[in-house]
Structure 1
Amino acid sequence: MKFRTAGGLREEPFLNLVPLIDVVLVILIFLSVTTTFSRTAQLQIDLPEADEALPVDSMPKEWVVAITADGAVFIGERAVGLGSVEDIEAALLAMIPAGSKPTIVIEADAKTPHQRVIDVMRAAQRAGFEKLTFSVERVEGR
């Protein structure tokens, strides 16, 4: 093999890229033609459909249980007083119609003892009410 020319000048190597590009294009065409796009794994989802608006009677009701600073309990407009958990439970069951599962909204004064709020929560749980929430008052300027 002769690497140098007679004059001692070195010839620059030449790399022809055209055959390389041709081979890559043929491979791409082959892959695009032979590839099949099939949906082998599908997840069937049955989306809910909107019905007519619910009548007002079927909307969930809310019952407000207010607790004053001294611990007196009011269910709606009826005073339960400083009764025990059993008294509050009995008042809840007497005031709220049987079979309905309303949301119990607890409105407690800022100076209400925490134990009294827990007593109302326990009475609602024992009476079978599963939805419980708290009402808060926003103070302007904070």
Structure 2
Amino acid sequence: MNLRPHRRDPADINLTPLIDVVFLLLIFFMVSTTFKDEARLRVQLPEAQGEEIPAEEPEMIRLVIDRTGSFNVDDRAVRDRETETLVEVLKERLGEREPLPVLIQADAQTPHQAVMTALDAASQAGLVQIAFAATRVPQADSESDPPSAGLSAGPSKAEVAE
């Protein structure tokens, strides 16, 4: 007489059909997917020949943001850093004329939020032509300065010497 309980063999899960189905789905999606080249834009700019003609500087609104995040519109200080105040100043500067282009000149140390506030205020004032001013970093001598010296966050050699 056998009194020990009969142990069942553990159930095996066969993964082969699952792997086959996953591979078939992968092949199906790879074959049915199309990649569009329309997303890439190829732009070939025209080349100009001839002499340069000095252009008149168009009338624009100059918005300067200093390193503390304070705004100046056409060399007039804005009383606070609120978006609503900047919108009022921009609308007052614009008057009844058509929308003018806005040139944003921000200090390199300006907080990102101040630039976003300026963009938001310009949009709320109905100004859609916005440009950012930048200055070109002067080329350093290849022997005295490494190429990344203009991009570093620390002081340059000239600033340390002073």
**Aligned residue identity for 2:120:** R
The aligned counterpart of 1:69 is 67
Following superposition, the deviation at residue 95 of structure 1 comes to 1.5
The aligned counterpart of 1:123 is 121
Q: Which residue, out of 102, 112, 119, partners 1:114? A: 112
- Higher-strand-fraction structure: 1
TM-score (norm 2): 0.49
Q: Which residue, out of 68, 92, 95, partners 1:94? A: 92
Structure 1 unaligned blocks of 5 or more: 1-55
Between stretches 131-140 and 78-87, larger displacement belongs to 78-87
Q: Which residue, out of 137, 140, 148, partners 1:139? A: 137
Distance in structure 2 (CA, Å) of the matches to 1:81 and 1:70: 14
**Aligned residue identity for 1:139:** V
Deviation readout 1:25-71 (Å, 9 max, x if unpaired)? xxxxxxxxxxxxxxxxxxxxxxxxxxxxxxx8xx9521110000001
Q: Number of paired residues?
A: 85
Q: Aligned residues: percent identity?
A: 28
The answer to whether the Cα contact below 8 Å between 1:88 and 1:123 also exists between their aligned partners in 2 is yes
Deviation readout 1:84-139 (Å, 9 max, x if unpaired)? 00010001011222232110000000000011000000000000011001000111
**Aligned residue identity for 1:140:** P
CA RMSD of superposed structures (Å): 1.7
The aligned counterpart of 2:101 is 103
Higher relative contact order (CA 8 A, sep 6+): 1
Distance in structure 2 (CA, Å) of the matches to 1:96 and 1:79: 16
Distance in structure 2 (CA, Å) of the matches to 1:111 and 1:89: 23
Distance change >3 Å, CA 82–CA 116, structure 1 → 2: same
Distance in structure 2 (CA, Å) of the matches to 1:61 and 1:118: 23
Structure 2 unaligned blocks of 5 or more: 1-55, 140-149, 151-162
Distance in structure 2 (CA, Å) of the matches to 1:76 and 1:70: 18
